[in-house]
Structure 1
């Protein structure tokens, strides 16, 4: 088959869940696709925008369990495009922020398959907006870092330059490792009294936003039974979130850890 006969693979960001946050282009491509290869975090409301005759293939990933390994997902996208069918690879958030979109892009390029990337509102941007939590603020933060909480060698990571005064740290996929992350941040010099916010099910109807302090992060996850998908925001801006305070004795104005009660 000549390269000119290959269909285009569209790597489309589905945003954090609310279908109203899709780009116009994303919504159009979803409705036109012959095949939609989607993540588990893509909401039913967004999948409902697909043509009723479109084939839907779930490649949902959960912690320690993938329906398809990444290399097989890559091969699937190439195979579908080579068959001449229009393909939308629908990914939660933005394809290039912890979405492994770069790997899928490389696989398609290597096979001579044309690719288009359609950005989506990332989980961090969408969830923070819903919680009214400014990731940057002239009085509180001039830098933002996005990190993955399930990275290998977590204890070896140097977190000291990522969090602290004037900085915001957003942690994806950190529910299971939250206690270890908090311990490592504190060991690397971040104050235990640093405000944190946990944004669960961002932008969806069942979203929860919880505020506490870094020293309480691990306990909060257990006490509140936080489930994925959830983001952890560490920094002074977390105190701005429209949220439930879940640590007794703490308020947004707590200073120097004096009001931490664990």
Structure 2
């Protein structure tokens, strides 16, 4: 009769959907029964919630044991005993002992403790939703009823919502008054998919975007019609927007209360003058957020099949700007020292100076047969790779009509892998 009564109560509960709620567990006792893989997955979130966690289990995975060693949880190294849930606000029952799970679940029912069962969702008084987070927002997706439970579908919905919030394809604009500010966003080497998720989200929330020519231009097409896009292109050998004008535009729009994104190619601080903009904003009292980007100095060679380091070939790589020739008094590069290095040399903005660069390196001891690769429009559909040596690179670049933007890689790693 008792079993029939339990089944009757369970059937009554199953007729109604679960009621979603967020538990505030900071400083409150939480008991976890079992130290296996389920506990390993669930414990980090409980720790982050500030719960006072007691683990009851004769054994634990190495990761769970490390949490106990670090003092993040209290570990009672024994099987479950009746009374372990006394004073508990929330229980996670996840051991491999079915009898212990049933006994702990029964105690939770008697003490009115919300209890999650990893082995039997029907017997639980609470369910763990598929949870994700994005910029201070928690997304929790819960199946409406037991009969319709499909954990994979629930997780897929969670993932789609979180990914949409992160990459900006699902835009939920803020309605609270925002503090004026500017985000210096590194857009990556060119492929729009290589911008960081944070950068893409900030771009989707922007009122004004001040964009470089080398920023991922395809992302601008996705912006809503109300977003003002300002061209700050610094085109080699052509017209450009003075840095002072860029700084003033950033300050002006931020002071007007708008969300401003300065979209730059690569990383803002790798030959990108990002620090000059950050300093100008600081002097004007404008909050500035820096969002690092994937630098073309590493990503473009990689996209062309060239590792900047490789075991037994190169243990170092150096990135230099080639926008001024080695014999130019403005150059800050120690070219003779670079010629003596055994690692990889990556040159940015050096297409028109590659002849002088190659001659200088050879003159200071670099082997003339050192492999060189020029990768134009790296990571984009127009990417192409041209190979040469230090002795031939000037003529090869001219003959192949290599144009900026191009990343130049000098060193034995050029010959590693496939072309």
TM-score, normalisation: structure 1: 0.86
Three-state SS of the structure 1 residue aligned to 2:373 is strand
Pair 1:91 & 2:264 matched: yes
After superposition, where does 1:37-116 map in structure 2 within 5 Å? 37-116=210-289
Pair 1:218 & 2:391 matched: no
Pair 1:230 & 2:403 matched: no
2:312 matched residue in structure 1? 139
The alpha-carbon distance between structure 1 residues 111 and 241, as it changes in their structure 2 partners (threshold 3 A), is farther
Take 2:341 and 2:354, find their aligned partners in 1: how far apart are those partners?
A: 20
Deviation at 1:160, TM superposition (A): 2.8
> Is the 2:326–2:356 contact (alpha carbons within 8 Å) kept by the matching residues of 1?
no
Three-state SS of the structure 2 residue aligned to 1:17 is coil
Take 2:189 and 2:310, find their aligned partners in 1: how far apart are those partners?
A: 22
Runs of 4+ in 1 over 4 A off after TM superposition: none
Take 2:390 and 2:215, find their aligned partners in 1: how far apart are those partners?
A: 30
> Is the 1:141–1:165 contact (alpha carbons within 8 Å) kept by the matching residues of 2?
no
Deviation at 1:164, TM superposition (A): 5.1
> Is the 1:209–1:242 contact (alpha carbons within 8 Å) kept by the matching residues of 2?
no
Q: Aligned match of 1:8 in 178, 181, 188? A: 181
> Is the 1:131–1:241 contact (alpha carbons within 8 Å) kept by the matching residues of 2?
no
After superposition, where does 1:168-207 map in structure 2 within 5 Å? 168-207=344-383
Take 2:239 and 2:398, find their aligned partners in 1: how far apart are those partners?
A: 25
Residue-by-residue CA offset, 1:23-53 (whole Å, 9 max, x unaligned): 1111111111000000011233121232222
Pair 1:35 & 2:208 matched: yes
> Is the 1:199–1:209 contact (alpha carbons within 8 Å) kept by the matching residues of 2?
yes
Three-state SS of the structure 1 residue aligned to 2:391 is helix
Three-state SS of the structure 2 residue aligned to 1:105 is helix
Three-state SS of the structure 2 residue aligned to 1:76 is helix
> Is the 2:338–2:361 contact (alpha carbons within 8 Å) kept by the matching residues of 1?
no
| Gaps in structure 1 of 5+ consecutive residues | 244-262
Q: Aligned match of 2:334 in 138, 146, 158? A: 158
> Is the 2:326–2:360 contact (alpha carbons within 8 Å) kept by the matching residues of 1?
no
Take 1:166 and 1:152, find their aligned partners in 2: how far apart are those partners?
A: 22
Deviation at 1:5, TM superposition (A): 7.7
Take 1:213 and 1:34, find their aligned partners in 2: how far apart are those partners?
A: 47
Take 1:241 and 1:162, find their aligned partners in 2: how far apart are those partners?
A: 24
Take 2:192 and 2:227, find their aligned partners in 1: how far apart are those partners?
A: 18
Take 1:175 and 1:10, find their aligned partners in 2: how far apart are those partners?
A: 30
How many pairs does the alignment contain?
240
The alpha-carbon distance between structure 1 residues 173 and 123, as it changes in their structure 2 partners (threshold 3 A), is same
The alpha-carbon distance between structure 1 residues 184 and 155, as it changes in their structure 2 partners (threshold 3 A), is farther
> Is the 1:98–1:148 contact (alpha carbons within 8 Å) kept by the matching residues of 2?
yes
> Is the 2:254–2:286 contact (alpha carbons within 8 Å) kept by the matching residues of 1?
yes
| Gaps in structure 2 of 5+ consecutive residues | 1-176
The alpha-carbon distance between structure 1 residues 164 and 234, as it changes in their structure 2 partners (threshold 3 A), is farther
Query: How big is the alpha-carbon RMSD for the aligned residues of Structure 1 and Structure 2?
Result: 1.8
Residue-by-residue CA offset, 1:121-169 (whole Å, 9 max, x unaligned): 1112221121121101121111111111113664565313224563111
The alpha-carbon distance between structure 1 residues 205 and 45, as it changes in their structure 2 partners (threshold 3 A), is same
> Is the 1:197–1:238 contact (alpha carbons within 8 Å) kept by the matching residues of 2?
yes
Pick the structure with greater CA Rg.
2
Q: Aligned match of 2:418 in 232, 242, 246? A: 242
Structure having greater relative contact order (Cα 8 Å, sep ≥ 6): 1
Take 2:239 and 2:380, find their aligned partners in 1: how far apart are those partners?
A: 24
The structure in which a higher percent of residues are helix is 2
Q: Aligned match of 2:303 in 130, 139, 153? A: 130
Three-state SS of the structure 1 residue aligned to 2:262 is strand
